């Protein structure tokens, strides 16, 4: 029997074994996931085939990127159909066609900015596009900044520094933009989402989140923001309830309107989460969740062997 998660308008059925791949295609950790206008799913993963393309039923369509990426982290598809891939391992952002042709590279592979220098990039995490085509990049693991580039990849400005005040960051892990041009940054280790205008001016923040990691902003009349929240890792609170891992759904005003809790605690089953790192929603409202289980496992379950089947990309069918 399929497991049902969520409540009210946001109820989902966990999909079992929904992906069908050729024998020679194996998914690694799924750091990012995106859906195009035809509901094809782009799976940005840390396996030997970094970009795997599926149809909405889980059938394999294509793969690419073997010579482009070192450690995938974030991905999103722009309105013009280009796909922006943030590669933490090479400290670069790549703009590609949906077929994998490289259109633009921002940064030089292996050219790592000094730690906390505020200069691009030191283990960059994700991208979003502004209303005029500006490219916004969160730079989170070795920096505490958002960088802004022209559509041609020229650096315009950067903002942010390490800290917990307005406009400061403690691991800016993801970024999305809404239809009004506002930017939402998952300030992960500050347990909040900060909101900025496209000039980098602080507009406010959403609190009451636990280590927000993945973000997905929907569009239309009633947009909402899906937030992948990851679990506590310290020994003193590792088993504490009501902290994740989970996916929360927030209204455009930041109000909690739905939540998919990891049933029975963290795990690799279809109805559980370990580290919801990449999120996407298709035209029917179905939710895709990319997991970085191998990275999270030692902190979630110290001393326990990693399962052989990681179930790295999970699908939840939205119920009417």
Tell me what pLDDT residue 320 has: 82
Give Cα separations from 284 to 26, 30, 157, 167, 178 (angstroms). Answer: 27, 22, 37, 35, 20
User: CA 192: distance to chain centroid?
Assistant: 15
Contact assessment for residue 134 and residue 149, using Cβ atoms and an 8 Å cutoff? yes
User: pLDDT tens-digit profile of 36-60?
Assistant: 999 999 999 999 999 999 999 999 9
* Maximum CA extent, the chain: 53
Per-residue b/e over 208-247, b at no fewer than 16 CB within 10 Å?
ebbbbbbbbbeeeeeebbbbbbbbbeeeeeeeeeeebbbb
66: confidence class by pLDDT, cuts 50, 70, 90:
very high
Q: List, in order of start, the domains of the chain with CATH numbers.
A: 4-318 (2.120.10.30)
75: confidence class by pLDDT, cuts 50, 70, 90:
very high
- Report which of 302, 316, 177 is spatially closest to residue 247, judged by C-alpha positions: 316
């Amino acid at each position: 029997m399929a497991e049902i998660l969520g409540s009210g308008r946001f109820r989902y059925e966990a999909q079992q074994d929904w992906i069908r791949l050729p024998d020679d295609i194996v998914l690694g950790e799924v750091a990012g996931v995106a859906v195009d206008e035809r509901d094809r799913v782009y799976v940005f993963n840390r396996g030997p085939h970094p970009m795997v393309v599926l149809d909405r039923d889980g059938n394999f369509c294509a793969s690419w990127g073997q010579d482009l990426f070192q450690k995938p982290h974030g991905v999103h598809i722009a309105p013009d159909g280009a796909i922006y891939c943030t590669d933490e391992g090479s400290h670069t952002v790549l703009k590609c066609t949906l077929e994998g042709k490289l259109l633009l590279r921002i940064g030089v592979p292996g050219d790592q900015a000094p730690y906390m220098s505020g200069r691009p990039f030191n283990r960059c995490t994700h991208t979003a596009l502004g209303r005029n085509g500006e490219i916004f990049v969160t730079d989170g693991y070795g920096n505490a900044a958002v960088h802004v580039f022209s559509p041609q990849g020229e650096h315009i400005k950067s903002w942010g520094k390490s800290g917990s005040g307005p406009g400061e960051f403690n691991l800016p892990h993801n970024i999305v933009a809404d239809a009004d041009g506002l930017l939402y940054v998952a300030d992960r280790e500050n347990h909040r989402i900060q909101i900025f205008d496209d000039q980098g001016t602080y507009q406010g923040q959403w609190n009451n989140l636990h280590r927000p990691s993945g973000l997905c902003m929907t569009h239309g009349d009633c947009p909402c923001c899906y937030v992948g929240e990851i679990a506590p890792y310290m020994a003193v609170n590792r088993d504490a309830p009501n902290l994740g891992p989970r996916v929360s759904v927030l209204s455009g005003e930041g109000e909690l309107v739905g939540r998919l809790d990891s049933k029975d605690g963290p795990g690799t089953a279809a109805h559980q989460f370990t580290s919801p790192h990449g999120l996407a929603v298709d035209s029917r409202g179905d939710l895709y969740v990319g997991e970085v289980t191998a990275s999270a496992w030692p902190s979630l379950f110290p001393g326990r062997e990693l399962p052989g089947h990681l179930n790295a990309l999970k699908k939840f069918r939205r119920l009417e």
